[in-house]
Structure formats: C-alpha cells, structure tokens
Amino acid sequence: MSEPVPPPDGFTIGHWTDSEGVTGCTVILAPPGTRGGVDVRGGGTGTRETDAVGPLTGTAEVTAVMLTGGSAYGLSAADGAMRWLEEHDRGYSTPSGLVPIVPAAVIYDLAEGDPKARPGPDSGYAACEAAREGVPERGRVGAGTGAAVGKILGRSHAAPGGVGYAAARTGRGDLVAALAVANAFGDVIGPDGNVLAGARGDDGEIVPTAATLAAMEAAPDPARVEDRNTTLVCVMTDASLTKPACTRVARMASAGVARAVSPVYSDVDGDVVFCLASGPADEPADRFAGIAIGTLAAELTAQAIRDAVTVR
C-alpha cells in the first residue's frame, strides 16, 4: 500500500502518547488565517470552544484543533496548546494581544487503562512540540491510544481503535485531508458493507452490532456495555472556503462517519467533525468548489476511520 498524501502546506500534526496509562492527545496546528467550522452529531459529546467556530460567530480564524482522550478531563490539554501557541506568537489578534482559538473534542478512554491517567496542559504542550509536517503517525497513538470500536458485548470483546488518516486532491487541485480518531460504540464498516472491526463473541466470530441490536428483545446488560464512545474527525484543506462553507464541508464530511460506522450518531457516541481551510480568504467564494471539497471530504473521512482500525 502506498504512503498517503501529506496534509496541505502549513498544517502540522503532533501526538502525545501515554502507553502505560493508555491515553493521549493529538493536535492539528493550522496556518495563520485558517477558517474553521464544526458539525456535532453525537448525543454524548465532550467539547470546548465549538461555538467559537460556528458559522454565526465573529471569530475570524482557528489556530489549532485538539483531539484528546481522558473524557472531559482531557479538555484541559487545550490549555497547554494555548500556552505553546502564545509562546510562538500564534493566535487571533485582539487589541490586547494574540488569543489562540483552540476548539477541542474528547473520546472516553478511561476504562481502557488507568482512569487517573488523563491528558492535561503539559500533554497538550508536548503534542504541539511534537507537531511535524507530513503524514502523521497512525494507529494506537495520541488521542487514539485507548480507543476501541464495537462495544455491544463490552470492551473486553471490542476491537482496537486508533488514529487514521487519508488525503487526496480534487479535480481543481485543492488538497483535502482527514484525520480520524475511531472509538465508536458501533462497528467500523468496509466499502463492501462488511465489518472491518467490531465486537467478537467468545468463539472469536464477529458479532455485528447493528444486527445484534435489531434482534435484542431487551436492553443489553449495562455492566457489560461501554456507554461512552466517539468518532472524531478533522478535515484540512488548502481551498479558499469561507467560514460558513467550512461548516457545510464539516457537515458533508459527517456523511463519511455514517458510511464507515454502524450504528452511528447514537446517544452514547460523541461524534464531532471539524473542517479547517487555509486558502486565501479574500478570493471569491466558489460554491461548487465547496461541494466538490465536501464530497471528497466525506469519502476521505470514511477512509481515515477504516485506516484507524487497519493500520498497525
């Protein structure tokens, strides 16, 4: 399999990984002037500053995105990213100085390793220090260290999740990349509709989550089922998208989550998709370019989620 295409110029990605505590965080550092949008679909999200990048707010840019383990505790990793960004003179310009805008979203991984091992400010800072250009490290690293998918029979029967990545260009030459953290309640589904990663019974056979739920006559034993799950995605592009267009692309990319995860957007999933666009903001908006980017972003999102459970 060939190496994926690197992210657009100026985007750097860094991981902080706690292999003993089985948790971590991943930061996406954006070029100056990058616009952002977000689409929140899950019923159990843990987020920070997603409102700041909404299409109706006045915030002009996004400095970085933090994806992290540790459940709500892990949101503090964004504090470390803000400290690093301030030290490096990166942020949103205000009359009294730069303020880094760092929206964040979490996965629940407290049941995988040490529940007291959570990413914090120093972890977020270290992830920024580790950020590099090029194809990011994938698999059980960063925010995907403690991830698992297919938890209908409990985490002990689930499959490992992780961080995945995919990228490609549109016919117009715009580069689009997607970074995903797969920690879903449901299974990861391949392009052929078969389960790539999901719950396995005591005999080792795949137990498809959707079919199992449909056949159940009563709710599963809550003591066996992990009820905190999430798929997180960050789409990056060098296209000239407006801030509202970034939100529309994030919404279109959410279709890729639905293609690769089943069931999806449930009450026990915290699914969130970000979109960052670094192209010149003063270029005329091209709505059909946005449609092409959103269409490709959905396909790349599905590929990145599948990559997260297959790359090792």
pLDDT digits (tens, 9 = 90+) for 89-146: 999 888 999 999 999 999 999 999 999 999 999 999 999 999 999 999 999 999 999 9
- Tell whether 175 is covered by a domain: yes
Amino acid identity of residue 310, one-letter, is T
User: Span 183-210, mean pLDDT?
Assistant: 92
- Tell whether 154 is covered by a domain: yes
What range defines the domain where residue 59 resides? 12-310
b vs e for 38-74, b when ≥16 Cβ sit within 10 Å of the residue's Cβ?
bbbbbebbbbbbbebbbeeeebebbbbbbbbbbbebb
Q: What is the pLDDT of residue 176?
A: 98
- Tell whether 5 is covered by a domain: no
- Tell whether 6 is covered by a domain: no
- Tell whether 2 is covered by a domain: no
- Tell whether 27 is covered by a domain: yes
Distance (Å, whole) CA 238 – CA 112: 36
Q: What is the pLDDT of residue 194?
A: 93
- Tell whether 179 is covered by a domain: yes
Domains in the chain, number: 1
**CATH number of the CATH domain containing 109:** 3.60.70.12
- Tell whether 1 is covered by a domain: no
Number of C-alpha atoms within 13 angstroms, CB side, residue 231?
39
Report residue 198: phi and psi, to 5°. Answer: -175, -165
Structure tokens at 286: 């091209």
Q: 165 with 291: CB under 8 angstroms?
A: no
